[in-house]
Amino acid sequence: MFTGIVSAVSKVVLADANRLGIDHASIAKHLKIGGSVAVNGCCLTVVKKRGPVFFADVVPETLRRTNLGSLRVGSEVNLELPLSATSLLDGHLVQGHIDVTGKVRTVELASSGRELTIELPAAVSRFVAVKGSIAVDGVSLTVAAVDKPAGTFRVALIPHTLEMTIAGGYKRGSIVNLEADVVARYVARNLHR
């Protein structure tokens, strides 16, 4: 379980068909073989460590649902360590189970940050509401608008988010991982019984 508060940004040092290697000493020292880490919001299992580099396998299902298959050596990624039993709950509950990817449609300057309009795929549209939470590449964000224009949602990014995550590099056409809020998912499921 994660919170959507990114711990660090780092670079990919290995990206092949089924394994990622990421170099980040302070994250790697907290990881154990078999433990979890979120990479662009996707929960991966650490399978190997070598000094400051940790490695995680990515299976075809992960590659189909996420943007991890497009990563190359040198790509920047958001990293988050999992919650511990003594952690403060900040952001929102994020499982690291990516629902779908979405394409950034617009990036607009705002008075103190940027506003993004992102495609809202039908698979998650019923879980996304104004003032609700969504994880974009693992970053916990508040939804500012839905269906303006149709089939999209909008989020506002503060300067801190732009500086401390990969969001500062988003441009029109960027593909981002989307995870709907787990509480919204359970509410929707129970309403349709």
pTM across the whole model: 0.94
The 3-state DSSP class for residue 40 equals: coil
Number of other residues whose CB lies within 10 A of the CB of residue 78: 25
CA dist., res. 47 & res. 111, Å (int): 43
With a CB cutoff of 8 Å and minimum separation 6, the contacts of 130 are 143, 144, 145, 146
Tens-digit pLDDT string for the chain (193 aa):
999 999 999 999 999 989 999 999 999 999 999 999 999 999 999 999 999 999 999 999 999 999 999 999 999 999 999 998 787 778 788 999 999 999 999 999 998 899 999 999 999 999 999 999 999 999 999 999 999 999 999 999 999 999 999 999 999 999 999 999 988 877 877 776 6
Tokens 């709907």 belong to 180
Distance of CA 135 to the CA centre of its chain: 5
